[in-house]
Structure 1
Amino acid sequence: MVQDIKKEGKFNYLEVGEGTPIIILHGLMGGLSNFEGVTNYFSTKGYKVVIPELPLYSMTLLKTTVKNFAKHLHQFIEYKGFDEVILLGNSLGGHIGLLHTKLFPEKVKALVITGSSGLYESAMGDGYPKRGNYEFIKKKSEEVFYDPKVATKEIVDDVFETVNDRNKLIKTLAIAKSAIRHNMAKDLPQMHTPTCIIWGKNDNVTPPNVAEEFHELLPDSDLYWIDKCGHAPMMEHPETFNQMLEDWLTKRNF
């Protein structure tokens, strides 16, 4: 997938298929490849799947906030000339999707969140970045999933590289703090965009009660559970995730 990334101006993105755009928003430690199953499936189902690289590490420290990532997404949608989009976000990506929908609701046809921050997250809860300690990073990466084998060496290596890069580590901590500051509990009841919530029953990062709170606070939402699943359902159970999402899109005529 990486070799297909388009570079245009300040935007780097992957684009596959034709139809209504589904814009996928990756998380803090999540690469574009995490959504390979979703991309391959929906790009053959009448959707244009678009995955922009979010500028997590390229903005100045003061601008490294969830709000600025939401603004960057708005600029990307304007640049692409999309009239209406479906946003799909995991973890931090879900939070960016939610805040973007609050700030720029006019082009968001639907929102899909999975393991999203925005209400609560424990990702940095216990001194997360122990630099140089590969086994610690491996253990933390495995805890993100119900099945630790999903945390491949490639995934662990990427996280290890991030927390051992001083610039990336500082930005990572800044983003985590920004995510906590941008709690959306008061905003969600005013957001009427149809929202699909797909959650792992065994999510340790954003526990199941977070999904239930999103469902209670968002006026037009549907909640789906995936059993034996952690923080990244689209990676652990791609077929189940895709089927749930397709059923919801069909039910809502999207």
Structure 2
Amino acid sequence: MQNTSSPGKRFLRRFFLFIAGLSLTILCLLGIALAIFWAPDKPVDELKARWAPPPSQFITVNGMSVHVRDEGKQDDPVPIILIHGTSASLHTWEAWVAELKGQHRVISMDIPAFGLTGPRADADYRSPTYARFILDLLDTMKVERCIIAGNSLGGEVAWQVAVAAPQRVERLILVDAGGYAFKSSSIPLGFRIARMPQVAWIAEHILPRRMMENSVKNVYGNPDKVTPALVDRYTAMTLREGNRHALSQRFQQTSSGAHAASIKNIHVPTLIIWGGQDRLIPPEYASKFNQDIAGSKLVIFDKLGHVPHEEDPAATVAVVKEFLK
């Protein structure tokens, strides 16, 4: 029998069959990827044994169970407070703490949305809320006055504490700190995905190890320094129940540079440490801090990246110890 259908109809039929086949292929590939990289959240109690041995403790701050380490000289009237950055944890400061605790009391913590502390009930991850959290933590631990240090987001929180409560801050240490409306030359893949609401559900349920490894290497000046153990730690902290969803919420609430005008109101002795190979917050912003904070001291480590305290703790903490003299 002769085929009477027009060429146009035959083309449309083939086209729709092609699209249907392509969609099925994509769905199959997506299903395979989910099966391979499926990584559900882990309850915090499951992670504590490995990641919260002594001297870790959990204290209640405004209803949150906060992972804290309080080390060194307990009679030190002005302890050092260490605040980590986005997707990090108090573990990032371990080498600094080891060097500082012989002469000082040193307090580190997992801030909300990260580490073993996990999400806030109210899902408020704006930087002023973090600053208020640190002040509440100090109140809970009965710390009247401190030396406060922070990296990246933690640096932004640290200087906001110095602005909000200058009478409580004796010295300020900023390590590749946030605060200005910065322009990155490279952003870790994990951060880029967390900023995309359209893939948020997938990002909250899969975690390819290679993606985590590449994200950590992205913030190091020398990627060869990133060890499997380091990737294990960042992976475990990311898998803490609720952290991935909270990270996505935090990025949606971020308003880069919204409070930068108040940086000029900082009048405490300030040390600025920066990695010369920082591609997330490039070194030009170190110079802006140095210009805006009167009397501040700037030290740039040419070969280090966004987390210089973690990448080369010996060199960076030596500068801190000199500053604290």
TM-score (norm 2): 0.70
Paired residues of 1:28 and 1:92 also in contact (CA < 8 A): yes
SS at match of 1:192: coil
The residue identity in structure 2 corresponding to 1:224 is: V
Deviations 1:175-228 (A, max 9, x none): 234443453321111221221101111111111101111111112311001121
CA RMSD of aligned residues (A): 2.3
The answer to whether 1:198 aligns with 2:285 is: no
State which of 167, 173, 184 in structure 1 corresponds to 2:242.
Answer: 167
How far apart in 2 are the matches of 1:87 and 1:181? 22
SS at match of 1:51: strand
Q: Residue 28 of structure 1 aligns with which residue?
A: 86
Q: Residue 47 of structure 1 aligns with which residue?
A: 104
State which of 136, 155, 161 in structure 1 corresponds to 2:211.
Answer: 136
Paired residues of 2:119 and 2:243 also in contact (CA < 8 A): no
Paired residues of 1:61 and 1:174 also in contact (CA < 8 A): no
Residues 37 and 163 (structure 1), Cα distance of their counterparts in 2 relative to 1, 3 Å cut: closer
The answer to whether 1:106 aligns with 2:167 is: yes
The answer to whether 1:233 aligns with 2:308 is: yes
How far apart in 2 are the matches of 1:210 and 1:100? 19
Deviations 1:107-164 (A, max 9, x none): 0111101111111264468733464443233212111101213322233344445666
TM-score (norm 1): 0.88
Show structure 2 runs of 5+ residues with no match: 1-50, 195-202
How far apart in 2 are the matches of 1:206 and 1:128? 18
The residue identity in structure 1 corresponding to 2:82 is: I
Q: Residue 2 of structure 1 aligns with which residue?
A: 52
The residue identity in structure 1 corresponding to 2:172 is: L
Deviations 1:221-251 (A, max 9, x none): 110011210011111111111111111122x
SS at match of 2:79: strand
Tell me whether 52-61 or 63-72 shows the greater mean CA deviation: 52-61
The structure having more radius of gyration, on CA atoms, is: 2
